[in-house]
């Protein structure tokens, strides 16, 4: 048991948990989920939001695309349009048996990147919760294009959790947590029960462990964990098919893999939004000195500590800050575009002033107010 009481919980259900191989929505699963959510509300007094996948899978099945799945965007988006409606119908019917009402919200990354839309989405979600309605959230797959897609619902669930200041995210998967190696190939693989910060081993284990269906896999779950941990939100990866898994995790039972962090000074909501809501367009590799300064002093990232820049991006873009061995240690908004950053990388402020023709005000590569260190 964690001894913690949760107030607001985001439950994410992956396509592989929700649909069978032919894309049929598993009504029985949704009905049992409804019971657990009803119990969580009454027994634990917590609010619940659902992030559900399965629209595309359900739509492909409805359109008769089952066996040879199309890959072109219009077909997938048409499938999402048909499938989302089916999916919501199944949820609405099954949940009504427990007296639960749902409100559907379909988001794209545009809605989290744009401050105005972000605040509106937050207000709507808050109001739904106040009214005792369970938000049923998915990506707006039928209109989202690459530039504004989350692409996976693990990341979407983490953003929703930050948006509504949830204290727990439960990711229901087809595997019971993160293993030290891929359990399908390595019999020595062991379940990692608790993660307080990322190590090279954990990142490598996640890279190796794919899950069979759904677009997630472990890499996107780790990305969701980074976002949650930066916001001081616990996250649990567990097996969706285990009976009563949602209520058991909500009660604090040790199940699956639990990510948590002892965040003492939590970032402000605005800073989390600034640093984490945008699509990551590149990476900045920094030396050990800069890493130490960011971690221990909470300063801005200066050009002098930058060793290498990767990706194409303009000033204001979100980038990952990585150590030289590639570990992601933070994320933030750059003051320079990629080519200018490459010009100033490794240079002291004095030499930038004398050698490089750039506005002197922009001496900082990423300002401290626009960057979040993950752990
Ligand atoms: N939004 C997609 C769907 O509903 C699923 C994305 C995911 O599973 O991560 O089909």
pLDDT digit string, tens, across residues 39-90: 999 999 999 999 999 999 889 888 888 667 888 989 999 999 999 999 999 9
Q: Whose CA is nearest to atom 5 of ligand 1?
A: 53
Q: Are 214 and 238 in contact (CB under 8 A)?
A: no
The per-residue b/e assignment along 256-277, b for 16 or more CB within 10 angstroms, e otherwise, is bbbbbbeeeeebeeebbbbbbb
pLDDT tens digits, residue range 176-217? 999 888 777 788 889 999 998 888 888 887 776 554 434 457
pLDDT value, residue 102: 98
pLDDT value, residue 298: 85
Atom of ligand 1 nearest to the CA of 57: 10
Query: Across residues 90-114, what is the average pLDDT?
Result: 95
| 351 pLDDT more than 50 | yes
pLDDT value, residue 264: 52
| 1 pLDDT more than 60 | no
pLDDT value, residue 240: 94
Q: How far apart are CA 364 and CA 303, in angstroms?
A: 7
Q: Which backbone phi and psi does 167 adopt, to 5 degrees?
A: -115, -5
Query: Across residues 84-97, what is the average pLDDT?
Result: 97
Q: How far apart are CA 161 and CA 167, in angstroms?
A: 8
CA distances from 92 to 29, 46, 135, 288 (A): 13, 20, 11, 52
CA of 369 to the centre of ligand 1 (A): 33
CA of 316 to the centre of ligand 1 (A): 28
Residues 6+ away with beta carbon under 8 Å from 234: 2, 4, 6, 167, 168, 169, 228, 258, 259, 260
Q: How far apart are CA 257 and CA 192, in angstroms?
A: 6
For a pLDDT cut of 90, what percent of the chain falls above it?
59
| 353 pLDDT more than 80 | no
Around Cβ 291, how many Cβ atoms within 10 Å? 20
Local structure of residue 235 (DSSP, 8 states)? E
CA of 309 to the centre of ligand 1 (A): 31
Q: Whose CA is nearest to atom 2 of ligand 1?
A: 53
For a pLDDT cut of 70, what percent of the chain falls above it?
93
Q: Name the residue of 12, 23, 215 whose CB sits within 8 Å of the most ligand 1 atoms, as the mutation to test its pocket.
A: 215
CA of 147 to the centre of ligand 1 (A): 16
Query: Across residues 309-314, what is the average pLDDT?
Result: 96
First to last CA, the chain: 24
């Amino acid at each position: 048991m964690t001894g913690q009481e949760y107030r607001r919980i985001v439950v994410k259900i992956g396509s592989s948990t929700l649909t069978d191989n032919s894309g049929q929505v598993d009504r029985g699963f949704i009905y049992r989920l409804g019971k657990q959510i009803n119990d969580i509300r009454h027994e634990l007094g917590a609010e619940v939001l659902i992030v559900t996948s399965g629209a595309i899978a359900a739509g492909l099945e409805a359109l008769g695309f089952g066996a040879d799945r199309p890959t072109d965007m219009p077909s997938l988006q048409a499938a999402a349009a048909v499938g989302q409606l089916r999916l919501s119908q199944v949820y609405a019917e099954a949940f009504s048996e427990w007296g639960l009402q749902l409100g559907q919200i379909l988001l794209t990354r545009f809605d989290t990147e744009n401050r105005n839309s972000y605040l509106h989405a937050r207000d709507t979600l808050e109001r739904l919760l106040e009214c005792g309605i369970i938000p049923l959230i998915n990506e707006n797959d039928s209109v989202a294009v690459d530039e504004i897609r989350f692409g996976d619902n693990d990341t979407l669930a983490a953003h929703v959790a930050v948006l509504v200041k949830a204290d727990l995210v439960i990711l229901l998967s087809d595997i019971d947590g993160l293993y030290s190696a891929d359990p399908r190939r390595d019999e020595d693989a062991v379940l990692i029960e608790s993660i307080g910060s990322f190590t090279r081993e954990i990142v490598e284990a996640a890279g190796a462990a794919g899950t069979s269906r759904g677009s997630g896999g472990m890499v996107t779950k780790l990305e969701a964990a980074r976002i949650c941990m930066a916001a001081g939100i616990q996250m649990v990866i567990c097996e969706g098919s285990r009976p009563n898994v949602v209520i058991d995790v909500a009660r604090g039972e040790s199940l699956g893999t639990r990510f948590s962090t002892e965040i003492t000074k939590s970032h402000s909501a605005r800073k989390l939004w600034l640093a984490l809501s945008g699509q990551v367009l590149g990476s900045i590799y920094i030396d050990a000195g800069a890493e130490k300064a960011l971690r221990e002093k909470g300063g801005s990232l200066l050009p002098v500590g930058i060793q290498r820049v990767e990706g194409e991006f303009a000033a204001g873009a979100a980038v990952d800050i990585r150590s030289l061995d590639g570990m992601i240690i933070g994320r933030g908004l750059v003051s320079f575009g990629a080519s200018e950053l490459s010009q100033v990388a490794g240079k002291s402020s004095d030499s930038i002033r004398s050698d490089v023709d750039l506005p002197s005000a922009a001496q900082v590569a990423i300002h401290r107010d626009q960057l979040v260190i993950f752990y």
